[in-house]
Chain A
């Protein structure tokens, strides 16, 4: 039993290492992004990836689906995209006897790894079509419920610069994303490597690293990881400090934040901390684990007020502010 559990923990860090190595064939840098995606996957969460065009958002998701052997779907969000385009619809069919019937035509949501590309370009109506799927892992169409095949993960992307003709995601929907990940612009060395891999005669083949079964097995282990009470206290203080009306809030938080993280923020921090510990081969969550995942877990859950927006305050700064105080 002890050996099995130990082996399972070790398998997590091994699988992660293999996944990083495999992605490194095509993705240059972005180790942190990959780690956070893995954490998100094991926690059963969904990620909102933000970055300027051309940084390889789509490539990462597509490559991930390939090496994890997951059903991949890509939905390009446009203003005229309808919910049925995502969920699917009933279509009329005719049998051999000439009688007609409705048959449900599954939309792209019926995948395991869903890429919701430029999610903020679709109307709120269409965006909300994702809500139930993301939260419950099932959808309801014409009164019929359809379960989505686990592991189900939505990876939505959005462009932070081009805001014209977009529909910013409502807070309720943003809160459903486990992480908000940012793709940083590559440095010179990484750019050089990108050139080498994309403009030269570079051949690569992505192999399957592990599959859905392994993912589910690893997921089952996450919630068992012990967390000490002082780590829980730290996490709760961290989340409470993001609220401007809380006693733990700093002056800058009070000045620039409209409202702080929801309870989902605490859940995200603890669960992500557990996976982070497992990746590290540990059996307990440490403060470092929590601090490491604090930004992706809290940055989209803290809404800046008008002053913060106009002064260009970054949510990451606010998270740093809280972390430094604690």
Chain B
């Protein structure tokens, strides 16, 4: 019995050692898997395929995968104690003493030699050190882990020390500003009771709020924010187009045909302000009985337009470092919700090359306010003029230019290139807004217009009248002024030119 106890105590030491070895092996395998994944990811990052600015919580994924895989491997390849003892027997040339003794002990096999066997095995074990029994050698796996660790350190440090790894102070400032803008926009939108009362918070506004929350995450880089904004902007633009098409379809419905305008402009090209004017125009025309669906559609388009504008400006700010005042978003958010007069945006005022539809509308409205004071057709026509051009138009442009029907209009651009015909240049005098000077290629053949003369006359009449209304000289004074010039010797326009 003493032989058995002695042998059991010796075996217990080996068992402990085996457990430690198993844990060691699991950790080693886990390290191997983790570093392999990490190396792979860092290589992808280095190649520009993956993004190294991911959240640090991402590392819990490979750690979890590594540990679970290593534990699984450890459980599957778990060696039982008998096999361990057989291995010790062979390695230390113990001639199967341990394995035989353990087998007879474990399975309670009866033999007269049992005590002698265990005594002999225990004696052999007592002569051996634990390290000899279950050695913790330096294996190929250890070497592999070290190699992978070195590769990881090298790759990580090479990425870490690149200029784009950490956001600079300037970038952080930009991100902070952009975040504030987004937050202000969302707050101003929520604060506006009218908005809450009039329509539910759109999905995109909610997404915008989420985006503004992401700007508080200091782990995210400038590029990540820009990418997120870009993605969201594309999404908003897509929705904008869809809603614009939907609105256009609705406007083409029978009820809208009674409008005293020739053609409803494409809502996709209308700015927020223009949409507001369209809404007013519709209200006036339909005696405030605009269908709710159209009204909501316009409002939603307006909101999308504002979001688009806000996002574009933030992206420009983040990318190019264009100045961005902190109250811009608030003003963007408030100006329409609160029906405030449009204020010229700071960056728009600074940039003369950038078209500013709001300013054009404002100027135009101011210009038209004097002579076209009288309500009715003239006012409607003026609104229509504003709407015809997607982003507004300088004075002096004809609204019907290029609108004549053509037999070639269904042809593709490739076919048009080959269309015979004289290319004509627009000889109209350039207006002050030279940026809108364009060349028109006439595609129509003269004499083939099939419109009724009355229709054409009516159209031109409307246009002439609208031009007359735009003139700064009131109609009642024109004859008087003309007589004045005749009295001072200028009989005809030709003479006037000669005199000049």
Contacts and interface: CB of A to CB of B under 8 A. Distances in A.
Interface of A: 2, 5-6, 9, 224-231, 277, 280, 282-289
A230 B99 contact: yes
Interface residues of B, number: 21
A230 B86 contact: yes
A284 B104 CA distance: 11
B103 to A, nearest CB: 5
Contacts of B117: 226, 283-284
A285 B99 CA distance: 11
Nearest to B102: A228
Nearest to B82: A230
B116 A227 contact: no
A285 B96 contact: yes
Contact of B97 (A6, A229, A284): A284
B113 A225 contact: yes
B113 A283 contact: yes
A2 B115 contact: yes
A292 B36 CA distance: 47
Given A283-B120, A289-B95, 5 more contacts: A226-B100, A228-B100, A283-B113, A283-B116, A285-B100
Contact of B101 (A225, A284, A286): A284
Contacts of B115: 2
Q: Which 6 A-B pairs have the closest CB atoms?
A: A286-B95, A284-B100, A228-B100, A286-B96, A283-B113, A283-B116
A127 B105 CA distance: 48
A189 to B, nearest CB: 29
Interface string B79-101: 00010001001100001110111
Contact of A5 (B82, B90, B100, B112): B112
Interface in B224-278: none
Contacts of B86: 230
Nearest to B93: A288
B109 interface: yes
Contacts of A228: 96, 99-100, 103
Nearest to B97: A284
Interface of B: 82, 86, 89-90, 95-97, 99-101, 103-104, 109, 111-117, 120
A283 B109 CA distance: 14
Contact of B114 (A226, A287, A288): A226
A226 B115 CA distance: 11
24 contacts: A2-B115, A5-B112, A5-B116, A224-B113, A226-B109, A226-B111, A227-B100, A228-B96, A228-B100, A228-B103, A230-B82, A230-B86, A230-B96, A283-B117, A283-B120, A284-B95, A284-B96, A284-B113, A284-B117, A285-B96, A285-B100, A286-B97, A288-B95, A289-B95
B120 A282 contact: yes
Nearest to A288: B95
Nearest to A282: B95
Nearest to A225: B113
A45 B473 CA distance: 141
Contacts of B109: 226
Contact of A224 (B82, B97, B112): B112
**Most-contacted residue by chain A among B90, B112, B115 (CB, 10 A):** B112
A12 to B, nearest CB: 13
Interface-centre pick from B82, B86, B96 (highest chain A CB count, 10 A): B96
A202 B113 CA distance: 45
A323 to B, nearest CB: 15
A99 to B, nearest CB: 56
Given A286-B96, A287-B96, A229 B112 contact: no
A231 B104 CA distance: 13
A2 B111 CA distance: 12
B116 A2 contact: yes
A223 B96 CA distance: 18
Contacts of A285: 96, 100
Nearest to A280: B95
Contacts of A9: 116
A277 B100 CA distance: 13
B114 A282 contact: no
Contacts of A282: 95, 97, 120
A253 B212 CA distance: 78
Given A224-B112, A226-B114, A284-B113, A231 B96 contact: yes
A9 to B, nearest CB: 7
B103 A229 contact: yes
B34 to A, nearest CB: 36
B88 to A, nearest CB: 13
A6 B116 contact: yes
Which of A225, A228, A277, A280 has the largest count of B CB atoms less than 10 A from its CB?
A228
Contacts of B97: 282, 284, 286
A282 B111 CA distance: 14
Contacts of B89: 286
Contacts of B116: 2, 5-6, 9, 283
Contacts of A5: 112-113, 116
A296 B276 CA distance: 109
B122 to A, nearest CB: 12
B166 to A, nearest CB: 60
B65 to A, nearest CB: 36
A120 to B, nearest CB: 38
Contacts of B99: 228, 230
A6 B123 CA distance: 15
Contacts of A227: 100
Contacts of B103: 228-229
Contacts of B112: 5, 224
A6 to B, nearest CB: 6
A277 B113 CA distance: 13
A228 B94 CA distance: 14
Contacts of A6: 116
A285 B97 CA distance: 8
A1 to B, nearest CB: 8
Given A282-B120, A283-B120, A226 B113 contact: yes
A289 B95 CA distance: 9
